[in-house]
A and B are shown apart, each in its own frame.
Chain A
Amino acid sequence: RKEVEQDPGPFNVPEGATVAFNCTYSNSASQSFFWYRQDCRKEPKLLMSVYSSGNEDGRFTAQLNRASQYISLLIRDSKLSDSATYLCVVKSGSNYQLIWGAGTKLIIKP
């Protein structure tokens, strides 16, 4: 079993819709959680950190459920520019090594 698992997608979603990504992790000692965004043939860029209390940044909401070892990302009112691959990332107990999911590809259609 992979340490971080995501639905590979792709998700084909009409512009303006709400889309949710899910991610599970296997190491219960994991301490930090992130969502990164990666455009085609570009480097990954930090989208947002995920906190236990949940956090929101504009149209983006991230949630963490430590008991279920589950992380989610919700995108509301999706835009064409949201099309990208979204990667779930967990920091290991060593506190620097990032463990990555394979990513979920999102395609927003006009």
Chain B
Amino acid sequence: GAGVSQTPSNKVTEKGKYVELRCDPISGHTALYWYRQSLGQGPEFLIYFQGTGAADDSGLPNDRFFAVRPEGSVSTLKIQRTERGDSAVYLCASGRGGTDTQYFGPGTRLTVL
């Protein structure tokens, strides 16, 4: 079956711009996670959704970052007033529940110039 998909695969933007990154989880998965991976580092947790609600957003670095999952399926990570330090690969993962294996999408490589 189809895995987790993320769009776009690459996004180049200028400092100060707004970006949206999309994640399509595996069908039927209620848990959805966003991670950020900088070069040479492991992924860093950002936010966890169980259904439509954000069960844990403690990893979001500041209030420029926001994520939604209005219908409990597709999720969008939104970054306002992007900064060069936001450049990273943004990974999305989904699972059947909070304790289940997390399946990762291919990521969106964000570059802020």
Q: Give the chain A neighbours of B105 by CB distance below 8 A.
A: 43
Give the distance in Å from the alpha carbon of A8 to the alpha carbon of B41 in the complex. Answer: 9
Q: Nearest Cβ in chain B — how far from A13, in angstroms?
A: 20
A interface residues, tally (CB under 8 Å): 19
Main SS at interface, chain A? loop
Give me the interface of B with A, judged by CB distance under 8 Å.
31, 33, 35, 40-45, 48, 55-56, 59, 91, 98-99, 101-102, 104-107
- A45 at the A/B interface (Cβ < 8 Å)? yes
Tally the A-B contacts, defined by beta carbons under 8 Å.
46
Interface of chain A residues 1 through 26 with chain B (CB within 8 A): 4, 8
Give the distance in Å from the alpha carbon of A86 to the alpha carbon of B104 in the complex. Answer: 15
Give the distance in Å from the alpha carbon of A106 to the alpha carbon of B23 in the complex. Answer: 30
Main SS at interface, chain B? loop
Give the distance in Å from the alpha carbon of A101 to the alpha carbon of B44 in the complex. Answer: 9
Give the distance in Å from the alpha carbon of A45 to the alpha carbon of B101 in the complex. Answer: 10
Contact residue among B40, B59, B98 (Cβ-Cβ distance under 8 Å from A102): B40
With A42-B106, A43-B91 known as contacts, the answer to whether A98 contacts B56 (CB < 8 A) is no
Give me the interface of A with B, judged by CB distance under 8 Å.
4, 8, 42-46, 87, 89, 94-103
18 A-B Cβ contacts within 8 A?
Answer: A4-B42, A8-B40, A43-B91, A43-B104, A44-B43, A46-B101, A97-B45, A97-B48, A98-B33, A98-B35, A98-B43, A98-B45, A98-B102, A99-B45, A100-B43, A103-B40, A103-B41, A103-B42
